[in-house]
């Protein structure tokens, strides 16, 4: 039997998921990732610590399956990380994540200019402090000594591959989310490089999602006690791979993920350059692209409310069930109470690092169950707003495949069905990004002939159909919800 080890590099946890030749997850190992943050918008992680965690997870995985039975090791990674390294490949700073907003002034200045519009159109990455594009420009001006010492600007995944193989390579999925890569001509985009103040020599060689390396550095081979040559497949970014992992590969099928943050995405064939209407457009492979939008305030907004208002840590599934049971006591629409969940600013659909959260419509009739439900509905409304934008550009969506924290609550999944007016689909695997990586690994090593065959592996666990009456209630509240940000936006 052949196995795939899928490594998922998240910003909260790193996972190793062992998958067999029938795409069945057999075992998962997980380690937390510690973040460093401050009030100035800094948000980063230690790249070497992450690499050491990857080695630990690989060792644990190779104790479960024999190395000669491993078809490949493949990677999924969170988007938008950026790390400066010197000529020896040693980090000169922490790796800044998508949540870092120190470069927001650069993003806000670039956004409304012709250069900003051109870069967004050609790279598919919205102009926002999340992107390496803006972070590198900020480092150039605000930390010139660091900028001068930098040999390469790379992502965390690129750092791991360099530590494993001594090469600087980046897959098209990670490159396409950098704001620096021309997703139509498949090269680093000159105008983006000029804004950042770098040239191609400061970046890695771009390779396909199915590219693999086998010549591990001897020190790593020894540490992992490898006697056999195992392909290490580059894979892609977590968002695009999540679509593949839950088999949302048709334009009328969306994938919705809620973790710390959240996103709604649709897979499309290679498009022509066109107005993006506030959506991103990233690459899964050279032939398949994913369009949609991310939110900053997914599970983290619910966690904030649970800890500070309910005294619940939200550290276990039982905690989530307690919160959902409380929320279910309030009616749909929370008696007119709305929650705008912009606690960390917001990406899609407003792309405003300075956006603020709020409760709107609070009255004496409201109790903690109303506030709890309003928070869940607010997070869900923000995802509906993205889905609505996707449909305007790409046509109607009929099914929404879900992954992440929402899959732990049938009540929340039914709420999404009622709110969206769509069929919500739960598959047997909640680790959609890791499964997507596993499918890329299977394709790269010839275990499957085409990525479209992943649908034959998918088992639908349950579907949730919308209640028309409740959907009508939510439609009225959604109209008010979408008006809140423009009405209360700070000038």
For the chain, how long is the longest CA-to-CA vector?
Answer: 69
* Side-chain half-sphere CA neighbours of 456 within 13 A: 8
pLDDT given for residue 316 in this prediction:
78
Return the closest-CA partner of residue 454 out of 19, 23, 28: 23
SS3 for 121? helix
Confidence of residue 294 (pLDDT cuts 50, 70, 90): very high
Residues 98-150: tens digit of each pLDDT: 999 999 999 999 998 999 999 999 999 999 999 999 999 999 999 999 999 99
SS3 for 248? coil
Same fold, 3-240 and 247-428+459-491: yes
* Cβ neighbours around 226 below 10 Å, total: 15
Determine if residue 271 is left, alpha or beta; phi over 0 gives left, psi from -120 to 50 gives alpha, anything else beta. Answer: beta
Confidence of residue 314 (pLDDT cuts 50, 70, 90): confident
Round to whole Å and give the CA distance between 132 and 422: 35
| 355 pLDDT more than 70 | yes
| 292 pLDDT more than 80 | yes
Asked whether 186 and 286 are in contact (CB, 8 A), the reply is: yes
Give the angle subtended at the CA of 257 by the CAs of 177 and 292, to the nearest 5°: 45
Least confident among 105-109, 190-194, 467-471, 487-491: 487-491
What contacts 228, CB < 8 A, 6 or more positions away? 67, 68, 70
Mean pLDDT of 5-31: 95
Mean pLDDT of 264-285: 92
pLDDT given for residue 471 in this prediction:
98
Q: What architecture is domain 3-240? A: 2-Layer Sandwich (3.30)
How far apart are the two ends of the chain, measured CA to CA in Å? 61
Round to whole Å and give the CA distance between 454 and 345: 36
Asked whether 391 and 397 are in contact (CB, 8 A), the reply is: yes
Round to whole Å and give the CA distance between 145 and 149: 6
Which residues face 229 on adjacent strands? none
Round to whole Å and give the CA distance between 287 and 242: 17
Which residues face 400 on adjacent strands? 254, 424
Round to whole Å and give the CA distance between 117 and 137: 17
Residues 55-109: tens digit of each pLDDT: 999 999 999 999 999 999 999 999 999 999 999 999 999 999 999 999 999 999 9
For 134, the enclosing helix (H) or strand (E) is helix 132-142
pLDDT given for residue 430 in this prediction:
63
Count of positions (residues) in the chain: 491
Q: Where are the beta strands (DSSP E) in 288-438?
A: 288-295, 338-340, 358-360, 399-404, 423-427
Round to whole Å and give the CA distance between 464 and 143: 51
Confidence of residue 259 (pLDDT cuts 50, 70, 90): confident
Q: What is the DSSP letter of 421?
A: T
Round to whole Å and give the CA distance between 445 and 288: 19
Residues 441-469: tens digit of each pLDDT: 999 999 999 999 999 998 899 999 999 99
Mean pLDDT for the chain?
96
| 274 pLDDT more than 90 | no
State the DSSP string of 306-337.
Answer: IIIII-----SHHHHHHHHHHHTTSPTTGGG-
Which residues face 91 on adjacent strands? 85
pLDDT given for residue 56 in this prediction:
98
Residue boundaries of the structural domains of the chain: 3-240, 247-428+459-491
pLDDT given for residue 491 in this prediction:
63
Classified by CATH at the fold level, domain 247-428+459-491 comes out as Nucleotidyltransferase; domain 5 (3.30.420)
For 74, the enclosing helix (H) or strand (E) is strand 70-77
Residues 359-384: tens digit of each pLDDT: 999 999 999 999 999 999 999 999 99
Which residues face 152 on adjacent strands? 85
């Amino acid at each position: 039997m052949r196995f795939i080890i899928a490594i998922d590099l998240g910003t909260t946890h790193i996972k190793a998921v062992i998958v067999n030749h029938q795409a069945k997850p057999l075992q998962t190992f997980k380690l937390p990732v510690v973040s460093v943050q401050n009030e100035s918008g800094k948000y980063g992680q230690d790249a070497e610590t992450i690499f050491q965690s990857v080695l630990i997870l690989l060792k644990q995985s190779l104790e479960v399956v024999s190395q000669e039975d491993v078809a490949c090791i493949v990677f999924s990674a969170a988007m938008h990380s950026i790390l400066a390294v010197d000529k020896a490949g040693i980090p000169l700073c922490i790796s800044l994540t998508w949540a870092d907003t120190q470069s927001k002034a650069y993003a806000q200045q670039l956004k409304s200019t012709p250069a900003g519009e051109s870069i967004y159109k050609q790279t598919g990455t919205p102009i926002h402090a999340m992107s390496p594009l803006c972070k590198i420009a900020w480092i150039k001006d605000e930390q010139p000594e660091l900028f001068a010492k930098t040999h390469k600007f790379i992502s965390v995944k690129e750092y791991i591959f360099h530590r494993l193989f001594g090469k600087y390579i980046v897959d098209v999925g990670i490159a396409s989310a950098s704001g620096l890569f021309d997703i139509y001509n498949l090269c680093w985009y000159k105008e983006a490089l000029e804004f950042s103040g770098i040239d191609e020599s400061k970046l890695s060689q771009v390779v396909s999602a199915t590219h693999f390396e086998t010549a591990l550095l001897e020190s790593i081979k020894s540490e992992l006690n490898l006697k056999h040559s195992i392909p290490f497949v580059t894979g892609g970014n977590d968002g695009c791979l999540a679509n593949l992992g839950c088999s949302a590969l048709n334009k009328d099928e969306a994938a919705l993920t809620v973790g710390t943050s959240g996103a709604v995405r649709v897979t499309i064939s290679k498009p022509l350059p066109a107005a993006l209407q506030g959506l991103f457009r990233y690459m899964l492979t050279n032939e398949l692209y994913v369009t949609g939008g991310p939110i900053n305030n997914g599970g983290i907004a619910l966690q904030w409310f649970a800890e500070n208002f309910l005294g619940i840590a939200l550290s276990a599934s039982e905690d989530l069930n307690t919160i959902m049971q409380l929320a279910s006591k309030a009616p749909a629409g929370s008696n007119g109470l709305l929650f705008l969940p912009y606690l960390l600013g917001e990406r899609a659909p407003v792309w405003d690092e300075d956006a603020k959260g709020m409760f709107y419509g609070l009255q004496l009739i409201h109790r903690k169950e109303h506030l709890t439900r309003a928070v869940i509905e607010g997070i869900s409304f923000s995802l509906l707003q993205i889905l609505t934008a996707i449909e305007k550009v790409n046509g109607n969506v009929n099914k929404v495949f879900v992954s992440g924290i929402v899959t732990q609550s049938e009540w929340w999944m039914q709420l999404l069905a009622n709110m969206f007016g769509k069929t919500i689909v739960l598959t047997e695997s909640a680790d959609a990004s890791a499964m997507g990586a596993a499918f890329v690994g299977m394709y790269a090593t010839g275990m499957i002939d085409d990525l479209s065959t992943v649908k034959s592996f998918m088992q639908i666990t349950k579907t949730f159909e919308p209640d028309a009456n409740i959907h009508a209630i939510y439609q009225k509240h959604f109209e008010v919800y979408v008006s809140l940000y423009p009405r209360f936006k700070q000038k």
